Homo-oligomer: A and B are copies of this chain.
Amino acid sequence: MGEVGAAAQSADSAGTPLPVAVDAMGGDSAPESIVAGAKRAVEQFGIPVLLVGRPDEMGDVGDIPVLPASEVIAMDAEPANSVRRMKDSSVVRAAEAVRDGAASSLLSAGNTGAAMAASLLRMGRIKGVSRPAIAVPFPVLGSTPTTLLDCGANADCQPEWLVQFAQLGSIYARTRFGIETPRVGVMTIGEEAGKGNQLVKDTCVLMEEGSWINNCGATYVGNLEGRDLMTGVADVIVCDGFTGNIILKSLEGGIGVALDAVRDVLDSVDVPEVAEHVRPKLEPVFDELDVDTRGAAMLLGTRGVSMIAHGSSSPAAIANAIRTAHEMAEVGIVGNIRAMVEAGR
């Protein structure tokens, strides 16, 4: 398989934009909410979509083209084996559509591990990328998000991988959020150099050496702590996938509990002024703080754009994720990563 393949195209040979291949069957309320999100992306954003899955279960999809796939990998199925075995599953067919140049990118809100495995196995890894990583943007109120990676692709990591995550994250922050010189830090448990577990200590030695910066145009800001994640002190923070996934889930859960408690209080206050003056101002804040719906994770390092949305994504969140997938393919993030890796050889 050659390095410059069909994957990572955003338009066909005639210049017509390729559609986003959407796994219609993946998600807590799939296919309904996925199809609804796809329609929204087409109608509101004018983005072409290819729905992949069981046509007879999708309901009315309007003019959206459908790529039939007979199997569905369940949310709790074992990812790698399922992808190998279920060759006609929606997420596998969607990844193949990207590989074959029939789609610009993949979006799945289904089994995260399966979306990852399908992307890795069908699109393949960019040559020179040791381990693809999941990047998740965390909201920073009133500013560009801070991207944390790896958020779950690699439970046990080598220091060298974390250094490459720093590079991948820098390309992502620049390509997606327009941050010219991303500030990159290492997630650990103390601000002073040399604080952390053995992996972080070894990683920091490599990070401080600094040659990794040349390929990706970042600034190294050193050790960061959990509290620095949503305050905008860095644009990219790297950690192993075990730590990153636990941070992601803890914050989704904790912020969710806190904001639900606030909502409950507002619901219990039977005063029209509250509904009139407080809710309209709070809703945008709730929205901005929602890691799930705004964030859609991206697998960085595969030979095609692979976006992973939360299983509970609303149609609006799916539409946003489709738009992001489309944009990432259009601006050529895969090519940017490839160029970065090649510059480092």
The yes or no answer to A313 lying at the interface (CB within 8 A) is no
Report whether B249 and A225 are in contact in the complex, using a CB–CB cutoff of 8 Å: yes
A147 to chain B, nearest CB (A): 15
The yes or no answer to A259 lying at the interface (CB within 8 A) is yes
Which residues 200-247 of A sit at the B interface, judged by CB distance below 8 A?
Answer: 200, 225-231, 239-243, 245-247
The yes or no answer to A81 lying at the interface (CB within 8 A) is no
Q: How far is the CA of A285 from the CA of B266 in the complex (A)?
A: 12
Report whether A252 and B226 are in contact in the complex, using a CB–CB cutoff of 8 Å: yes
The yes or no answer to A261 lying at the interface (CB within 8 A) is yes
Query: Per a CB cutoff under 8 Å, which of B196, B197, B257, B274 touches A230?
Result: B257
Report whether A189 and B246 are in contact in the complex, using a CB–CB cutoff of 8 Å: yes
Q: Which residue of B lies closest to A272 (CB)?
A: B273
Instruction: Give chain A's interface residue range (CB within 8 Å of chain B).
Output: 35 or more
Q: How far is the CA of A141 from the CA of B155 in the complex (A)?
A: 31
Report whether B253 and A192 are in contact in the complex, using a CB–CB cutoff of 8 Å: no
Stretch at the interface among A56-64, A120-128, A276-284: A276-284
Q: How far is the CA of A197 from the CA of B239 in the complex (A)?
A: 13
Report whether B253 and A250 are in contact in the complex, using a CB–CB cutoff of 8 Å: no
Query: Per a CB cutoff under 8 Å, which of B155, B241, B253, B261 touches A289?
Result: B261
- Taking CB atoms, residues of chain B closer than 8 Å to A225 are 246, 249
- Taking CB atoms, residues of chain B closer than 8 Å to A266 are 278
The yes or no answer to A258 lying at the interface (CB within 8 A) is yes
- Taking CB atoms, residues of chain B closer than 8 Å to A230 are 253-254, 257
- Taking CB atoms, residues of chain B closer than 8 Å to A86 are none
Report whether A246 and B226 are in contact in the complex, using a CB–CB cutoff of 8 Å: yes
Q: How far is the CA of A265 from the CA of B155 in the complex (A)?
A: 39
Known A-B contacts A240-B197, A262-B282; the reply to A227 vs B252 at CB < 8 A is yes
A250, A261, A262: most-surrounded residue (chain B CB, <10 A):
A250
Report whether A189 and B155 are in contact in the complex, using a CB–CB cutoff of 8 Å: yes
Known A-B contacts A197-B156, A258-B258, A258-B289; the reply to A253 vs B229 at CB < 8 A is yes
- Taking CB atoms, residues of chain B closer than 8 Å to A252 are 226-227
Q: Which residue of B lies closest to A154 (CB)?
A: B197
Known A-B contacts A242-B197, A269-B277; the reply to A251 vs B249 at CB < 8 A is no
Closest 6 CB pairs of A and B: A226-B249, A226-B250, A227-B253, A273-B273, A189-B245, A155-B197
